Amino acid sequence: MKYVLTQFNFWDLCRFFKNTNDTFYYKELPDYVESFLKENKVNIQQSDVKPADAVIPNGSYADWPKPEELTPNILVKKYHVDDDNFDMVIASIKPGDELIYKENLTREIPKGIKATLCNSENAPKERIVLTSYKIGSNSDLNEYTQNPDVIHYVGNVVNSIKYRRHRLNEYLKRTLKVTTIFKGFVEVKSTLIISDPRGSFALVKSALENGQKIIYDRTDNWNALYPAIEDYVIENADTVFCSSQYLFDTTNSKNKVLLPNAATRWNYTDPTKTKTVVYVGKSTNKTDDELCTKLKEEHPEYKFVSIGAKIPTWDYLPLLPWDVMMSYLDHCEIGVIPLKKEDYFKGQFNLKVWDYLQSRCKVFVTDNYNYSGIKNIYTSFDDAIENEFDSNIKIPYWEEIFDKILKEV
């Protein structure tokens, strides 16, 4: 395996350094880092250009290690052990590996095995191998299940907004044994589902080595930000699900399937509509604030409200519980998705489209590429004002979409 080594991914790659089959290419290295790696017989090679078949893993840290951090200990593969996974870890650990445990471990570690007490304040900077049901500190709510049917790499934790990846995870757990990985690594010996390409390279590599099926659920245009990382996942995936038409059209895979985002069921309460324009979103870097200001200036008869992300000049509400938010949307007339015209945002089929439509809100979008053919969606704000809401619309729900994914799994 070939990797491109940078200051950003050093700590995520260092536990692979002792694998003599891997080569780590670098453009520049601090002299002390280069000396340390050569002294420890790490296979490194200088290259001003990226080798065509090399992977560029993204990482979690922005700086090279300090000289005092470069000890042989960072080359040791570390396992998290607790009472729940004790027997499995002890059976699989190899000479030279190290156990990381917490104070509440009641089992006695056999003599001759190196073990380190590790609470959150002194957690190792590099990634540890995940072998526990619930791991805190540096692994962030991973869930391990013995002999799972599916390993699902979600890439981030569930927050106030549940994205497709979190809903898919809940759905899979209804009928399957699922190991959920937010950060870190497990050996992949069952079907691997990737919902975020960032940080997934080691899992993909393990799945390939063990002959396991790989499914990539592509929900964002990561190629606009990290092309080498996403291309690696797509090239090795047996199936690529695409959540929007743009992602489907730009996915270079023979085994791609269009499965657009769907809705969470909501019972519309049919209240009195008010002249309110609303935007719902978490991120503050997506919106075309200049356009939003212009809309408000041109239509003083409307109240403009943003929920979650702050839009300058608009009224603001913090993120609300989903049912409370939906009740608020029921009173609004127009929902907007005023995204910036950037390649990364072109791939998004925003979940809020279905929230708007279930609340009988007409929808204004800056780009209709992914919503073509859906009633009540307009690329002209004036058209959204002038037209009546057409209630003869079919809303797809998550169960329908995930049933198709489950068949593939």
Pairing of strands 134-135, 142-143: antiparallel
Alpha-carbon span 255 to 242, nearest angstrom: 11
> What are the chain's domains?
2-72 (no CATH), 80-258 (no CATH), 276-386 (3.40.50.2000)
Q: Which helix (H) or strand (E) holds 405?
A: helix 398-408
Average of per-residue pLDDT across 171-183: 89
Q: Under 8 Å CB-to-CB from 144, ≥6 apart: which residues?
A: 85, 130, 131, 132, 133, 135, 179, 186
pLDDT at 139: 42
Question: Could you tell me if residue 251 is left (phi over 0), alpha (psi between -120 and 50 degrees) or otherwise beta?
Answer: beta
pLDDT at 136: 38
The edge-to-edge listing of strands for the beta sheet with 334-337 is 315-317, 303-308, 276-281, 334-337, 362-365, 377-378
Average of per-residue pLDDT across 261-285: 91
Average of per-residue pLDDT across 57-74: 82
Alpha-carbon span 309 to 316, nearest angstrom: 8
For tokens 């095995």, name the residue.
113
Work out the pLDDT band at 406, boundaries 50, 70, 90.
Answer: confident
Q: CA torsion angle for 293, 295, 300, 302 (degrees, to 10)?
A: -110
pLDDT at 137: 37
Predicted confidence (pLDDT) at residue 193 exceeds the cutoff of 70? yes
Lowest mean pLDDT among 34-43, 97-106, 134-143, 383-392: 134-143
Backbone angles phi, psi at 238, to 5 degrees: -75, -35
Give the model confidence (pLDDT) of 365-395 as tens digits. Answer: 999 999 999 999 999 999 999 999 999 999 9
Q: Between 361 and 12, where is the model more confident?
A: 361
The edge-to-edge listing of strands for the beta sheet with 98-101 is 78-81, 98-101, 114-117
Lowest mean pLDDT among 78-87, 147-156, 320-329: 78-87
pLDDT at 333: 97
pLDDT at 296: 96
pLDDT at 269: 86
Alpha-carbon span 39 to 92, nearest angstrom: 28
Please report, rounded to a whole number, the percentage of residues in the chain having pLDDT higher than 90: 56
Average pLDDT, the chain: 88
Q: Under 8 Å CB-to-CB from 222, ≥6 apart: which residues?
A: 197, 198, 229, 230, 344
